[in-house]
Amino acid sequence: MNTLTSILLLLLLLIILSAIILGINFQYKSRENFRRLTWGLIIALSLQISVGLLFFTDVLANLPLAFFDILWWSTVLIGLVFGVMDFKKNSTMALIAIVLSIGLAIIGILSLLVGSM
């Protein structure tokens, strides 16, 4: 395994673990706010999950490159924006959206680096 890949995987694992710990901590502090989901967060999470699934099933490879880039980076930005906006209302789901955005951004940057070789 390449050292750069292992470092990136360890960094991603650290981000995921810290997000889980923060989410559990905030969930226990504010239980009455746990059930409130906004439509923006639901749309952002479903968009992130669908784009991730389409990427790993190789459906996005058939799309034009410009459309793929616009779809990918808009999904990352939408997830980050709604994750930060809804952090006080539902911290657990917002952290999941933020972690998914960071993961999609890392995959997008890696695909750009591999494509430019």
Q: How confident is the model at residue 2 (pLDDT cuts 50, 70, 90)?
A: low
Which stretches of 30-90 are DSSP H helices? 39-56, 65-85
Whole-number pLDDT of residue 28: 65
Interval 38-93: pLDDT, tens? 788 888 888 888 888 888 777 778 888 888 889 999 999 999 999 888 887 777 78
Contact 13, 99 (CB under 8 A): no
DSSP 61: G
Model confidence pTM above 0.75: no
Q: Identify the pLDDT of residue 7.
A: 72
**More confident: 93 or 34:** 93
Total residues belonging to the chain: 117
Cα–Cα distances (Å) from 29 to 24, 32, 34, in that order, read 9, 9, 10
